[in-house]
Amino acid sequence: MTPHIRAGRGQIAETVLMPGDPLRAKWAAETFLDSPELVNDVRGMLGFTGMWRGNRVTIHGSGMGMPSLSIYANELITKYGARTLIRIGSAGAMQPYVKIRDVVLAQTASSLSTPSRGILRDINFAPCADFGLLMAAYAAAQTKANDVHVGGIYSSDVFYDERPDLNEQMTRHGILAVEMEAAELYSLAARHGCRALAVLTVSDHLLTQEALPASDRQSSFGDMVEIALEAAFA
């Protein structure tokens, strides 16, 4: 056990999918895993372990933002032996050709700062996805109805951003979408020799102000979960 995860020895799989919302972790586990077992509920952050096509998988919430994800990813890696971590979550599109419900595979993740900045203070470290996972996810996404985009994303420190000038520069430099966790996940994976990827569903659009209706989110996010699972075990 750790301060934030009560799972016992052997209850966490080497492959972990990490949605931000703990209730989405519950939904994904109950929808896609066989015999999901609740292995964590400390502070309401739910984690489940079950089987997918004969492979053990844990789906564990990360909370919102890089500091929260850093806590859970650190403990999952260093205390429970997680080796493949895939963020599954929503993102806001920053390019006109990226549409609502599209899938974004984050090849790189730019940020103003991350919890790892204290270690990497002398260099602008460029966190990136595991290439094998990225290729496998791209292949899996071709069988889905969504359009898929591969490239750089922006991991923001804040949800209510008051820097329109910064968003304009992200768009100008080809950033596909914005979210709040991937840059720290990629940094931690690099530090500990793990595989990491962020598979994101576009739920909002910063340019058009469109938003995916709440009633449509579960079905659209289901494609993202399937892509992540297929990539993990390709």
Mean pLDDT, the chain cut into blocks of 10 residues (234 residues total): 94 98 96 98 97 98 97 98 98 97 97 91 93 97 87 95 91 98 98 98 95 77 95 96
89: annotated binding-site residue? yes
**Helix, strand, coil shares of the chain as percentages rounded to 5?**
35, 30, 35
Domains and CATH numbers, the chain: 15-232 (3.40.50.1580)
Structure token pair of residue 187: 């940094």
- pLDDT for 213 equals 84
191-217 burial, b for 16+ CB within 10 Å, e for fewer?
eeebbbbbbbbbbbbbeeeeebeeeeb
Q: Which of 102, 130, 204, 216 is catalytic?
A: 204
180: annotated binding-site residue? yes
Residue 157: active-site member? no
- pLDDT for 103 equals 96
Q: Is 204 helix (H, G, I), strand (E, B) or coil?
A: strand
Nearest residue to 105 via CA among 220, 29, 201, 186? 201
- pLDDT for 214 equals 73
43: annotated binding-site residue? yes
Which phi and psi (to 5°) does residue 106 adopt? Answer: -80, 105
181: annotated binding-site residue? yes
Contact 5, 76 (CB under 8 A): yes
10: annotated binding-site residue? no
- pLDDT for 145 equals 63
Which phi and psi (to 5°) does residue 67 adopt? Answer: -60, -40
Contacts of 93 (CB under 8 A, 6+ apart): 99, 100, 102, 104, 176, 177, 202, 204, 205, 206, 207
